[in-house]
Amino acid sequence: MNLKPATLTQIDEVITHYPVKRSATLPLLHLIQEDIGYIPEEAITWIAQKLELQPINVYEVVTFYPMFRRKPIGRRHIKVCRTLSCALMGGYKTCEAFEKEFNTHRGEVSPDGEVTVDFVECLASCGTAPVVLIDDDLHEKVDAAKAKQISDQIKAEAAKRR
Ligand code: FES
């Protein structure tokens, strides 16, 4: 597991915020998932050692919360909002457009390894629905046509890297 130096610094800092080390389990899992996109087995052991717990204690937290992923994601993470405003404005069609463009299904890595498409809850930009977050970039008013444009751009960038 290769964590970024910034993540390691944040982890050490976060642990100091809790009088009882085990209380840092949830924030550590979030930081690791933010960094590498999922929670591998070795992260569970690593956190357990770091917080002086048994791996089962960490494992229980990972399996309890559905937001933790146990499998790697694609190079880009496309998160389509499915909450009310976005759903009413066509968020489901937007999501289907991304799935079709990358020949994938929600929650899975596309066959080319480029993307994972997921539904997420409100991204706090309801006035510009439907909204899509791709890695750290927010895209507003993404209808199916705009989803195709964005997909073409992602594919073009991927082709340049090859
Ligand atoms: S409902 Fe989609 S951003 Fe709020």
- Centre of ligand 1 to C-alpha 15, Å, is 32
pLDDT, residue 67, reads 84
CATH of the domain at 50: 1.10.10
Q: Does 125 lie in the same domain as 85?
A: yes
For residue range 92-127, what is the model confidence (pLDDT) as tens digits? Answer: 999 999 999 999 999 899 999 999 999 999 999 999
pLDDT of residue 162: 78
Residue 51 belongs to what domain range? 5-64
Q: Are residues 55 and 82 in the same domain?
A: no
pLDDT value for 136: 87
Query: Residue 161: what pLDDT?
Result: 82
- Note whether 53 and 124 are same-domain residues: no
Ligand 1 center to 137 CA (angstroms):
15
**Is the domain of 38 the same as that of 107?**
no
pTM above 0.85, yes or no: no
- In the predicted model, residues of the chain with pLDDT beneath 70 are none
Whether 123 is in the pocket of ligand 1, judged by its Cβ within 6 Å, is yes
Domain count along the chain: 2
Rounded to the nearest angstrom, the distance between the alpha carbon of 35 and the centre of ligand 1 is 24
The closest alpha carbon to 111, from 69, 143, 155, 146, belongs to 155
70 occurs within a structural domain: no
Q: Is the CB of 81 under 6 A from ligand 1?
A: yes
Ligand 1 centroid to residue 80 C-alpha, Å: 9
CATH code at position 115? 3.40.30.10
Looking at the chain, how many residues does it have? 162
CA nearest to 125, candidates 111, 108, 137: 137
